[in-house]
Structure 1
């Protein structure tokens, strides 16, 4: 005969009840997040980002609103049109600025089309979080332009626009406070960015000895303790330099985790008085193998491969932009993908043939289908990557027709604009806009 201890039986029932309540809470949370992502929403959180910061903040904003019981959904500005705005009542905009006051890539079509119109938005309540860098002349230019346009169309601000200078915590804290007030909750999710890890420089190599341009170094870093963290091709490394710890610098990661090290390509910058840049000077010249490098990784969703992992890939860049492109190519090659076309530009072939041996090996092995190089100072006239595109316009059209994705990495001034103009000239503005909206045209430019 089995004897049942009523005390133990009651305890077991109580534990089972607690477990079921926990499961129910987790299920409800997942259902709420799923509904917020796909279902109807009283609040739209529209994000326009070049490097992923606005995307990340938009999702944190949605989480805060959902915590307060509101129906909210994040929407990329590339998918926003006037009909959506006319049907919305409450919209939060998180908008970064690209270059000297321009809209970032996901906001370009909205800026050129929707903001050129004059719809009646008097029914709309909105707020704007403008992301920018005060070292640029048109600080938070696109966010401010968006705020003025909404007000001119009769929309009512929920609170004054908040400008964020290089991720300033105080400004982001004010945005969080306002969201908590709107949601009626102070129980907001944690928005803290990951802590900096401690790394050391395992190797540092000058990539362009004798170059007419600034020295470019290839750095290999490893953690001081613990395993190598995970990241994906396209992601960024944030470095907090001892000379300027409040303003971290971002660099495209040039390697994949399987290589056992984190690689960066860092151009040594010099100020007008000749002194080295706070971060690049320390990384390229001063930091030794025993010095601690404070570094953290940041996911850059807009420059990851994502749905383009198996499509043919057209990679376009110049200078240190090869870092981001090299990681993308390496990840795909390691996964057995071989349809790659690299178009790359630098100054002189004799001194600036970056990663030459590796690229030639990939080409010889068929991992690179095409490799086209432009060296701007080797001929009678300057020749850049945009010239390569025009010279091979028929090839470009054929690759795009074959479902290729286009990734651009490198300098904002000159290269990025020149490449974009060439793409529009060859493919047409409508197709280029469609490539952006489909995620097949992505840029990481600085």
Structure 2
């Protein structure tokens, strides 16, 4: 009897320990206010983020729950509600709202959004204090693809709400688009611990070139990378994105192997994957307590307790004929370690190493259907997406381009300066304005240059130009958006969005 009791205690202890490890991030927040509330909760007034869904079949509601899970795990206080339970006055009380909406029939709203459409969207609202993100679910076989999502986006912009990033369209459950949404959520929540809802089907590429673009810069090192495909792959066009499968450093993997008493070449699972290879692609524990928890697990259970590293996204800086090029800035986490994606691409991987990578179409940032003048705006590594659009537009025969770009210092951060100068001399880069923010006593930013050139910007737009923005979502993009609103107004900017003449790739 004592043996049976002891065995039962061991099983229960193991179960509790495993649950504790898997949910360690939420347990760290156990003393805070509950993250997810409902409309009758006493903590309603403490929620500053709304997750609202409009769902006909339940898919949007499920994605709303997954969205809330990521944000709540990061400590954000939020509510999850059906859209017809939300009023414009309530929206105005939130700092941030994330909408997950499907479309039924030919552009119609789901049933649980009918009241919102009739009572709220039919009138004017002032949502100038609201930031929002929008995930639109649809099917391209229908004429009005993501029709309700577009209608909602148009209404939000005309109500003065500020988009955190451009609407994410999902065609018939496309996993790549959902990963992009999840990537935006991770940036919003400032977390790297959320595993992909569905892992990308990576292909093998090889890193063939890498050089530092900004030696001596006060900013993080920025690298220009070139890769070649090792197998047949789908092509890409300007505006598309790569999903990269990151890896941990050999030092981090070796340290954990040593702490767990495991051998690098020993098999980690039934397929025979060595422990060193397995851990290179997994989220590793951060603390001594987490490592100790892993030590208590049987070796047969250890591998399944570690999540696969989530993908990292980067704008493509080249056209297919030139090979795949990226511009990547080294990012460091709060613990001082390099980020998983930038660390792998810029330091841990050696020239000639294989890189797990997938090209993902990004229709919302694709070039215009016909060559038209382009106003290209961005900062930092956003030069990557702008460079690809500039190249594609020139190749299509357009000769009128205006680049407005921002970085820190001209002496160190003048990316692709020789290339841009040559395009100016050829007459295909009509105007180049660069804001080097730290080269004068009073900083000058991209939005300042736009404001100064407001009259000419209106002329370009009257001539049919499109605006493409690529770069930071936390500084440049929202400030540029506000300046554009001042220059052209809500209705014109919303119309530019709906007609594909205002597009953004921000991160």
- TM-score range with shorter-chain normalisation? 0.5 to 0.7
Superposition deviation, residue 306 in structure 1: 3.5
CA contact (8 A) 2:158 2:491 kept: no
Separation in 2, partners of 1:361, 1:115: 40
Superposition deviation, residue 75 in structure 1: 4.6
CA contact (8 A) 1:44 1:74 kept: no
Superposition deviation, residue 111 in structure 1: 3.4
Matched, 1:168 2:197: yes
Separation in 2, partners of 1:44, 1:313: 40
Q: Partner residue of 1:419?
A: 480
Structure 2 counterparts to residues 98-177 of structure 1, below 5 A: 102-104=132-134, 107-111=152-156, 131-132=181-182, 135=186, 167-169=196-198
The change in CA–CA distance for 1:360 and 1:289 in structure 2 (over 3 A counts) is: same
Superposition deviation, residue 205 in structure 1: 1.0
Separation in 1, partners of 2:430, 2:58: 43
CA contact (8 A) 1:44 1:72 kept: no
Structure 2 counterparts to residues 241-390 of structure 1, below 5 A: 241-243=246-248, 244=282, 245-259=308-322, 261-307=323-369, 309-390=370-451
Query: Normalization by structure 1: what TM-score?
Result: 0.62
Query: Normalization by structure 2: what TM-score?
Result: 0.55
Structure 2 residue corresponding to 1:200, chosen from 203, 206, 212: 206
Matched, 1:211 2:217: yes
Superposition deviation, residue 258 in structure 1: 1.3
Separation in 2, partners of 1:394, 1:114: 25
CA contact (8 A) 1:45 1:75 kept: no
Deviations, residues 402-422 of structure 1 (Å, cap 9, x unaligned): 111000000011100110011
Deviations, residues 27-52 of structure 1 (Å, cap 9, x unaligned): xxxxxxxxxxxxxxx99999xxxxxx
Separation in 1, partners of 2:200, 2:186: 25
Structure 1 portions without partners, runs of 5+: 1-41, 47-70, 88-99, 117-128, 140-164, 170-192
Separation in 1, partners of 2:157, 2:373: 29
Q: Partner residue of 1:238?
A: 243
SS in 2 for 1:351: coil
Superposition deviation, residue 301 in structure 1: 0.1
SS in 2 for 1:386: helix
The change in CA–CA distance for 1:362 and 1:44 in structure 2 (over 3 A counts) is: farther
SS in 1 for 2:467: strand
The change in CA–CA distance for 1:136 and 1:410 in structure 2 (over 3 A counts) is: closer
The change in CA–CA distance for 1:300 and 1:425 in structure 2 (over 3 A counts) is: same
Superposition deviation, residue 282 in structure 1: 1.1
CA contact (8 A) 1:200 1:222 kept: yes
Structure with higher RCO (Cα < 8 A, 6+ apart): 2
Separation in 2, partners of 1:329, 1:114: 33
Separation in 1, partners of 2:58, 2:499: 21
Deviations, residues 332-372 of structure 1 (Å, cap 9, x unaligned): 11222111100000000000000000001001101111111
SS in 1 for 2:209: strand
Structure 2 portions without partners, runs of 5+: 1-55, 61-102, 120-129, 136-149, 162-177, 249-281, 283-307
Superposition deviation, residue 238 in structure 1: 0.3
Superposition deviation, residue 312 in structure 1: 0.8
